[in-house]
A and B are shown apart, each in its own frame.
Chain A
């Protein structure tokens, strides 16, 4: 099998049940923008065909599939071995992977093993006469930086939810890929538990609207106000680190430097003071609304619409008013 000269090799992440991760849309969209998307899917036996079809529907022109029992028990290494084998066949102009924990570690080991340069946490991918380069947003969105690598194809990890571009659906050419295991030592997976999705609310990462709550909610019970407004707006739920530390809400909802970075159309901050660590994770939101009883809260410096007032009167009134307007 020969691949086009402008092939971009895209590692698609799959869950243990074989489902393709949401990051696939943006990765294939970005790949189509700068070349021909060639997807690699690595699954446990019997799950590759379905994953390959999904990859095609998201824009993969070619799909290389690897089915391996090792992925169930061996952390990272089987996927790195598959990516090495795929790159050898495809000779891509760039390799793209999600910046999730699993995929970025595959990309990192792959870059070391192949001697290629690594560009991390890109928010966009583009090309010029010199080749493909990555765009990054650093220090909480205060700076934009373009980077390239010095030797061969760049290996680029892409921030989840950062790229909106979507590729046209394809009927892909699917080829099983032979992989010679490297025999590199790896950690053993002894158990897996899929996260339970509690509600029909959108997932925080990549959500178009986010309602976040902070210490100002006062208690776990008070945090229900965030849920109510999120449901009224069809938004995902976020939180400041203070609210997470206080036990109001699970850690996976944390927005900020050490949590999830979001850039939704609408970000509503309830009772969040807006420490720089929090702002770093939401400053690229299109519209920011903040309600806080402290008129000097730093969150107001970045808010497009700021309300100084009591959450527990303003938010119920807001929910009522939104409900009334819908009728």
Chain B
């Protein structure tokens, strides 16, 4: 079985994240790019299945600039067997639909029984790529899983929605996404890091995938305007000297909040 895991380079949420007000694009130098944690969890789910089921091949796939290779190297160090990087200047500023089209083409070319992704990234937070990918690949999706079970020919899990939880299952091929309820990704060990250097990392361009990023017949989302909101300023700060609770009650009442 071949499992393709989608990973993504994102700005580290521990740092300040900035958008360029001229272009509307992420300022990649503003904060350290890191592999999105949710992708590490998705990869962990795939690798732990592979650990228990010899003959399972795990491939990490990303779409992103050159720096995104770091995320792929980490994935290979964690235990993925191969990596695929879609790298093309034409993808700068790609919207979610184009990104899904590119991923679908790369997944199809790589070959897959199961695709596993995180439910939502920390930067875009759209949370629709897995469903779009499933539509493009013409396979079912089982997404937003807080528990995932993988067998030789099926995937099942628990899908948490606002009003309750669904149990879902589907035969393969399929696309799954998991939430942060799943375990953290393992830390790469020395052996893994050394082994990663010998593993295949394939780079693909839009031309390789037969995708025209400028195709105007398909609806794309475009940015019209962008503005930075004024940063929130700190207000009143008191140190409790025995009556802070009363002062706070007065503040809430005066502001009609209690």
Contact = CB atoms under 8 A, between A and B. Distances in A.
A189 B227 CA distance: 43
Nearest to B255: A287
B52 interface: no
A306 B140 contact: no
Interface in A157-203: 157, 160, 184-195
Q: How large is the interface on A (under 10, 10 to 19, 20 to 34, 35 or more residues)?
A: 35 or more
Interface stretch (A4-12, A107-115, A213-221): A107-115
A21 B161 CA distance: 11
A313 interface: yes
A306 B236 contact: yes
B181 interface: yes
Contact of A309 (B131, B224, B240): B240
A262 B245 CA distance: 25
A45 interface: no
B105 to A, nearest CB: 13
Given A147-B224, A192-B167, A280 B13 contact: yes
B165 A195 contact: yes
A305 B250 CA distance: 11
Contact of B248 (A138, A300, A318): A318
Contacts of B15: 276
B166 A192 contact: yes
Contacts of B124: 120
B234 A301 contact: yes
Interface string B211-227: 00000111111111111
Interface string A289-324: 101000100001111111111100111111111100
Interface stretch (A36-44, A51-59, A62-70, A97-105): A97-105
A314 B166 contact: no
A105 B131 contact: yes
Contacts, number: 276
Contacts of A148: 221-222, 224
Given A283-B232, A302-B234, A118 B97 contact: yes
Contacts of B55: none
A302 B232 CA distance: 6
Nearest to B179: A258
Contacts of B24: 145
A83 to B, nearest CB: 13
A156 B134 CA distance: 20
Contact of B219 (A115, A157, A288, A309): A115
Question: Which of A21, A138, A287, A302 is packed against the most chain B CB atoms within 10 Å?
Answer: A138
Interface of B: 13-19, 24, 38, 95-97, 100, 119-120, 122-128, 131-132, 134-136, 138-144, 156, 159-170, 174, 180-181, 216-229, 231-232, 234-240, 243-253, 255, 257-258
Which 5 pairs of residues, A with B, have the shortest CB-CB distance? Answer: A317-B245, A309-B240, A117-B219, A321-B249, A191-B167
Given A21-B162, A307-B238, 14 more contacts: A75-B140, A104-B128, A108-B131, A143-B19, A143-B226, A187-B170, A189-B168, A192-B166, A195-B164, A313-B240, A317-B246, A321-B250, A325-B249, A325-B258
13 contacts: A101-B159, A112-B97, A116-B219, A120-B128, A145-B226, A150-B220, A186-B140, A190-B168, A289-B251, A301-B234, A307-B248, A314-B245, A322-B249
